[in-house]
């Protein structure tokens, strides 16, 4: 995992091709069913609520070097990510993704 380079110019939304859709079903589902964005930089990928140049966006995953690693993270943590997203709990209030929430 890494940290996101906040240089917006170096970041683009990742678009699946046909073969990748079958390889990464959880990422595709998050993108199509819940309108999350998979953001790509030279250093890796992350899942975000970001619209282009949207300052109020939230990165909902750490930065991963590969799509495979991001897919595994989403597969393991999908319920917690969606809970936080759907019930508007900021990412920093989710103490850990094992179910121990800090709800103010």
In a domain, 2, yes or no: no
In a domain, 97, yes or no: no
In a domain, 62, yes or no: yes
In a domain, 24, yes or no: yes
pLDDT along the chain (104 residues), means of 10: 48 84 91 90 86 66 94 93 79 48 38
Number of separate domains in the chain: 1
Task: Give the CA distances from residue 21 to residues 6, 27, 47, 57, 63, in Å, rounded to whole numbers and listed in that order.
Answer: 27, 8, 16, 25, 20
Q: pLDDT above 70 covers what percent of the chain?
A: 67
CB 32 within 8 A of CB 44: no
Q: Which domain holds residue 70?
A: 10-92
In a domain, 83, yes or no: yes
In a domain, 81, yes or no: yes
pLDDT for residue 57: 65
Helix ranges (H only) for the chain are: 18-23, 25-34, 67-86
């Amino acid at each position: 995992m890494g940290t996101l380079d906040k240089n917006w110019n170096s970041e683009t939304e990742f678009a699946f091709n046909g073969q990748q859709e079958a390889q990464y079903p959880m990422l595709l589902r998050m993108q199509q069913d819940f309108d999350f964005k998979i953001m790509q930089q030279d250093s890796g990928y992350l899942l975000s609520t970001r619209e282009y140049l949207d300052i109020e966006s939230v990165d909902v995953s750490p930065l991963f070097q590969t799509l495979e690693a991001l897919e595994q993270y989403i597969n393991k943590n999908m319920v917690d990510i969606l809970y936080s997203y759907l019930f508007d709990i900021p990412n920093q209030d989710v103490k850990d993704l094992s179910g121990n929430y800090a709800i103010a």
